Amino acid sequence: MKVTELLRNNFIIPNLKGTGKEEVINELIDLFKDDPRVKDFEKVKEAVLEREKIMSTGVGKGFAIPHGKTTYVDEMLGAFGKTTRPIDYQSLDNQPVHLVFLLVGKDNLVSTHIKLLSRISRMMNNDEFRNALLEAKTNEEILELFKKEEESYFDI
């Protein structure tokens, strides 16, 4: 499964309004509020926030990948947002976050969940890609950047 198979135009926020970690996570999760693939919205939100309590998903270089696994979705879900304001995310490198990719996995698709987390992390390790995302202004631009970047990776 590819990242771009999850990410859709309406699951991208080019200018997150939240000013804190939980606000930004909730803003992205809210994109799935009326999604028919979500069986219980509150349980999905709980899965992601509980995972965040275990250890920060701010992985460094201004990027965070909040995620969780649950039985309350019918398939994998992904959303992306960015902000010009620095978000204190308690990141591993103690740097603020500007780019956030939310991944919600289905409990019985652990292998796919891990592979997607890995792929997203590898993509975000590319400084050029991260900088291009920071410069992008629209959902369409962001989605196109993800598509171009992912073309350089093998299928997982």
Closest to 100 (Cα-Cα) out of 146, 135, 65: 65
Q: Label residue 156 by pLDDT band (50, 70, 90).
A: very low
Name the packing angle between helices 110-124 and 127-135 (round to 10°).
80
Closest to 9 (Cα-Cα) out of 138, 135, 130: 138
Contact status, residue 141 vs residue 69, Cβ threshold 8 Å = no
76 membership: H or E segment, kind and range? none
Q: Label residue 33 by pLDDT band (50, 70, 90).
A: very high
Rounded Cα distance between 115 and 4, Å, is: 14
- Higher-scoring residue by pLDDT: 150, 1: 150
Query: For the domain bounded by 3-150, which CATH number is listed?
Result: 3.40.930.10
* DSSP one-letter string for 81-94: EEEEEEE----TTS
71-107 pLDDT per residue, tens: 999 999 999 999 989 999 988 888 999 999 999 988 8
Q: Label residue 153 by pLDDT band (50, 70, 90).
A: low
Helix (H, G, I), strand (E, B) or coil at 15: coil
- Residues with catalytic roles: 67
